[in-house]
């Protein structure tokens, strides 16, 4: 019975890892599509690049959040050891620093200087909403 539970949690962790990777890949495709649409609407290249940058950054943030969840599931369900706890701590620290760096790049302000935190999903959703509200080229 214990082996069956371990196997199930292993699949759950693997599913989270796959979801995190797919989130980043799909986010990259959405970012490129939104950037191309912005360029085709006649927006300046810097605006189209900004759309790609913000959307891709948001997708990476969301993917990193899902990957942290995968690491937590994998560590919690494994045999507890100090080595596993240290490895998890290091992984979470690295991903947190990456997330903070990406957020600063996207928003241009330190996260603690903002009134509300912005998640990766909200960044992607904001760019999709902006794209849907933008006037079309009529082509």
Domain count, the chain: 1
Does residue 12 lie in a domain region? yes
| Average pLDDT for the chain | 84
Does residue 113 lie in a domain region? yes
Does residue 138 lie in a domain region? no
Does residue 136 lie in a domain region? no
Name the residue range of residue 113's domain.
Answer: 2-131
Q: What is the pLDDT of residue 118?
A: 60
Q: Which two tokens stand for residue 116?
A: 């509300």
Helices then strands, each counted (H, E), the chain: 4, 0
Q: What is the pLDDT of residue 119?
A: 67
Does residue 103 lie in a domain region? yes
pTM recorded for the entire structure? 0.71
Q: Which pLDDT band, with edges at 50, 70 and 90, does 80 fall under?
A: confident
């Amino acid at each position: 019975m214990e082996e069956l539970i371990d196997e199930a949690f292993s699949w759950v962790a693997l599913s989270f890892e796959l979801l995190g990777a797919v989130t980043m890949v799909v986010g990259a495709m959405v970012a490129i599509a939104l950037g191309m649409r912005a360029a085709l609407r006649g927006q300046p290249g810097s605006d189209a690049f900004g759309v790609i940058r913000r959307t891709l950054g948001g997708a990476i943030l969301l993917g990193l959040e899902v990957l942290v969840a995968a690491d937590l599931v994998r560590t919690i369900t494994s045999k507890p050891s100090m080595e596993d706890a240290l490895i998890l701590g290091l992984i979470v620290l690295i991903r947190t620093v990456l997330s903070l760096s990406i957020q600063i790049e996207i928003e241009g302000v330190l996260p603690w200087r903002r009134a509300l935190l912005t998640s990766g999903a909200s960044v992607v959703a904001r760019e999709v909403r902006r794209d849907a509200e933008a006037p079309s080229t009529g082509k």
